[in-house]
Structure 1
């Protein structure tokens, strides 16, 4: 007479100590939980960033319109390291809410603006790549309207 061995199975239907082959693309509860946790963490992080500071806008001087001639040049000058009067000379638009160099520099150094104006996504903002691309984008937007 043959005795049948009783084997306990884990939640996956596999004996402890053995691994079941799962081809990629099949549902995995563990992977689903990890993905859900990652999505939840990203959502919380984005909410905390939004609560900490307002989002950045391409209207750098805050006059209600994003223009290549003023806002684009302000960005490029800031990325080249211009400060004070040299940053804002001749570029501040009528009805501005950020009218002095300190307010504009503070706005451009915010976390949201650092992410927005890193056009090529390399982690650093450079005047000849990111600044010029943003200026060209503002010109193209103005030409379309």
Structure 2
């Protein structure tokens, strides 16, 4: 049930935060950057969510609820394509693509919205994979 309730959601991680930000505008700039036109009617909700680890220096994640899982999958696919097309790792999706003022361009990550338990399991799996020098998880 938790996965089904999150099936319309996409999560943007490490997007710099400011007091006067408009999350809807940031998300639309993100969509334009990856080559997708999105209409206001396709976005059900957008918000910053609380941190899992309060001591973390990373900004709060942006959570977007979309009108369909297919739209979410399209966004994830276009993001992967955008990042793969970047010849230089510094050209992968970052804060400068969204026009966010920061001292340096920070990398932005786009993922499916999964439960905290799944996030923990995935992080532990990546940690073990790194220790064992696996190429893929």
> Which TM-score bucket, shorter chain as reference?
under 0.3
Normalised TM-score (structure 1): 0.24
Give the helix-richer structure, 1 or 2: 1
Structure showing greater Rg? 1
Normalised TM-score (structure 2): 0.25
Q: Which has the higher contact order (CA 8 A, sep 6+)?
A: 2
Give the strand-richer structure, 1 or 2: 2
